[in-house]
Amino acid sequence: MLTTSLFALGLFTALSVGFDDEIPADKKLAMDFLANAEKILQQDPVDGKFGLSRMPGIHGRPAFRVNDPAEKGAADEWKKLTDDFVPAVLSFGLFDEKGTPKRKGFMYSYYHLNHTNFIENQDYFKAERKFSDEVAPAAAKKLFLSGEKTATTEMDYAGRKAMIEMRIVTAPSDKCMSCHEGVSAGKPIGVLTLLRIAKK
């Protein structure tokens, strides 16, 4: 009886883990993009570009460099994301002792919520403000303080479901201390958030 019970428990545990490991394709795509984005941000800023400005622009130079694995991966993933979703990327940094971010950054190329077809709709405009000023900063703070690497949440975006994936950006070396005081290699220095709304 005991052996059977232990076997059943082990089987149930294994099956549970298997179900948990099944990540939806769209979520995996978003997380893969954020993972490659982190790799790009972790490169030494020898070109004088810091924070989200290290991400290549979609139009003109700097464009994605296909000979860089992280940039090629991010380019491919971004293309797929924009095919099926209206995406928006925000970065948060310079967290204080309470986990509140003092810096928020975005690039127009990665922030489709303020494109014409969205910003002309007042409900969408209000939803964008709520995401940018309330939901995203609060979610970034929660992840930063949690000790976890990634997190997912969602919000109502003027009657449409918006998924939000997040990823901690860690300091690759002590060189980051020139801007991020008191941060050592491997410690979190920022949070990337990706909101996406299905086009269909």
Q: What does the pLDDT look like over 86-135, one tens digit per residue?
A: 999 999 988 888 888 888 887 777 888 876 566 667 888 899 999 999 99
pLDDT at 180: 58
What kind and span of H or E run contains 42? Answer: none
Beta 150-157 vs 101-105: how paired, if at all? Answer: unpaired
Rounded Cα–Cα distance for residues 138 and 37 (Å): 21
pLDDT at 72: 82
pLDDT at 104: 87
CB-CB contact of 185 with 42 (8 Å): no
* Rounded to 5°, angle at Cα 66 from 191 and 86: 50
What would the two tokens of residue 79 be?
A: 């293309």
Average the pLDDT over each of 142-146, 170-174, 179-183 and give the range with the smallest value.
Answer: 179-183
**Mean pLDDT (the chain, rounded):** 78
Angle of the 69-84 helix axis to the 25-41 helix axis, nearest 10: 140
What would the two tokens of residue 135 be?
A: 């939901």
Q: What is the pLDDT of residues 153-172, one digit of tens each?
A: 999 999 999 999 999 998 76
pLDDT at 66: 63
- pTM, whole model, 2 decimals? 0.78
Report percent pLDDT > 90 for the chain. Answer: 38
Query: 175 or 124, which is more confident?
Result: 124
pLDDT at 105: 83
